[in-house]
Structure 1
Amino acid sequence: MSAPGPVIGRVIGGRPRERRRTRAWWLARAYLNLVPTAAALAWGVAHGGRPVVGRDLFVECGGMRRGYARGGTTVGSVWLHGDLGGPERRRHEARHADQWAVLGPLVMPALYGLEAALTGADPRRSRFERHAGLEDGGYAPRRGSRTAPDPTPDEVPGAPPRRR
């Protein structure tokens, strides 16, 4: 018997509606994401990444020197990044892998790119990032935290302003 996955869902009557990811979903996600996962894994290793496969079949390819956007990028079931790491970020990126499995390798990048164009690449306005969890992705402060959220591309010091 496997340990339960993270609880996701809406709060109804003060209690979260529990939906747990199961081993069956992890297998289905791995199968549905097989082609983009293989390509991303090859890309990550070619750029110095060290792949680590979790029990949920989600691959974290950290230690990359380059070859990923922002702080990290998920393609299929592979999270490509430099040195972000951490369970919260991993949970956020695994939700992006779920999005890849549901939408497919052609629709997911097209819709994500369209969303980025429509929102000015602001992750706090992106439906994909909100669904994956802004706090887990480092885009919003945790409740009760006094630290500021990670900056958007417009807020990075020294970055040239974008035209709108």
Structure 2
Amino acid sequence: MSSGRKSLGHQKIEIKKMSSESNLQVTFSRRRSGLFKKVDEFCTLCDAKIALVVFSPSENVFSFGHPNIDTVIDRYLSRIPPQNNDIMQFIEARHKTNVCEINDQLTQINNTLDVEKKLGDELSHLQKEYETQFWWTCSHNRMNWIQLEIFKKALKEFRNLVAQHTDRLVI
């Protein structure tokens, strides 16, 4: 008997490394942004001091720190409690704003780069399709032996047609 459910609901998926490099980079960019947002929310809600360093698949480094990454790392390494100073809080807030703006800009640039890479891949694919379909339009250096023979025969036939046509025009 049916219970009225049309889907299996939330399913657990297997977590494994992606095989496609372009998908890996796009997923990394999106997940990194989400991770930084979650860490920022955690800092705001819990007044936690956090330093996060992430290396992308292409070895780029991304960091997030609250109040800033240097303060958190210095505190971790030296175990010195933070000082409650209004000027320091202002500097840290300003630094955090700058880091967030730069991270947003970097995310936008990475997304644009991903789109441009996809367009480049599509153009390369279309060029290969075009060269496969219209092989005689590509450079003779890129033709194989069979294509060169066919091309040679077509040129001879074309020469004969031109000669016949010019003979008719002269008479």
TM-score (norm 1): 0.22
Decide which structure has the larger Cα Rg and report it: 2
| Bigger strand fraction | 1
Greater share of residues in helix: 2
**TM-score scaled by structure 2?**
0.21
